[in-house]
Amino acid sequence: MTGTVLMGVVAPATNITVQPEMEALRPPGVINAHARIPHRDQAVRSDGDALAVRAAMIAGLMDALDTLAPARPRHGVIGVMVENFAGGGEAGAALLREAEARIGCPVTDVSSSLLAALDALFGRRARIAVLTPFMPVGDAAARRLFEEAGHEVLQVTGLRAPGPAAIARLADATIRDALRALDGPEVEAIVQVGTNLPFATLAVEAEAALGKPVLACNPVTYWRALRRVGITAPLPGDQRLHRL
């Protein structure tokens, strides 16, 4: 184990996308130890349902981190968007501070990683379009995240998955159609949020086709975590961010 970097990765119990998308980028000498936030799947037909799912998972996050702490990871990765989880702002910052205390190491979250990626790619405020699998309350949280950071959000498309587990079953054709509708000459980058949405492969495909950055939240979060522990080698996948 000498020289090995242990990443503690946490995702909801219904999430089957974080693990494979991050494992696909794992470089030699890194181990991803995965833990699950316990919660049940439930129907999401409204913003109220979405908020109930959020509330049910918050306590479970700390339980999941507790299972990783004894392994003494060097870094933690929170595989859920804090804005859609704890409301963002100071509440989100407090949640991340508590997470670091529970796991015993720094943590990287989705939201700050997406902002760091835009900074690395543009070095300025960007004009972006955003894809989510969420209900309107989640779309609004995503818009607020980027606009408060100074980016111009030209459009947000939410796919309104009918439950947490259903996000992973959204068809590739549905996602591609949404991407085509989001793109336009004024859009400098497309950004995807929602960690259970399978998007890593589609992002590589779309970036090549569109000639502009297409950011998938799981690879971006893992990129940021690796860079924060000093791993600077290019990541697999022919995307601009992966070389930074």
User: Looking at residue 1, what is its pLDDT?
Assistant: 43
163 lies in the same domain as 100: no
Long-range interactions of 233-236: CB distance < 8 A, separation 24+:
233/27, 235/25, 235/27, 236/24, 236/25
Domain match, 92 and 172 both: no
* Residues 189 and 142 both lie in one domain: yes
The reply to whether 31 and 117 lie within a common domain is no
HEC assignment per residue over 36-85 = EECCCCCCCCCHHHHHHHHHHHHHHHHHHHHHHHHHCCCEEEECCCHHHC
Residue 185, pLDDT score:
96
74 and 34 housed in the same domain: yes
Question: H-helix or E-strand containing 139?
Answer: helix 136-148
Predicted pLDDT at 43: 63
Amino acid at 205: E
How many domains, the chain? 2
The confidence score (pLDDT) of residue 83 equals: 52
Same domain, 17 and 56: yes
Residue 46: domain span: 5-109+219-243
CA gap 9, 66 in Å, rounded: 12
| Amino acid found at 59 | A
Say if residue 14 is in the same domain as residue 93: yes
pLDDT reported for residue 54: 66
What was the pLDDT predicted at 116?
A: 96
Q: Are residues 213 and 224 in the same domain?
A: no
- The answer to whether 56 touches 30, Cβ cutoff 8 Å, is no
Sequential pLDDT tens for the chain (244 residues): 447 999 999 999 999 999 999 999 999 999 999 999 987 777 667 767 666 666 667 768 889 999 999 999 999 999 987 655 555 677 778 888 999 999 999 999 999 999 999 999 999 999 999 999 998 988 998 999 999 999 999 999 999 999 889 999 999 999 999 999 999 999 999 999 999 999 999 999 999 999 999 999 999 999 999 999 999 999 998 899 999 9
CATH code: domain of residue 69: 3.40.50.12500
Residues 47 and 84 reside in one and the same domain: yes
* Distance (Å, whole) CA 165 – CA 11: 12
What's the confidence (pLDDT) of residue 80? 86
Question: Are residues 145 and 127 both part of a single domain?
Answer: yes
Q: What is the pTM of this model?
A: 0.93
Question: Do 142 and 238 have their domain in common?
Answer: no
Same domain for 129 and 73?
no
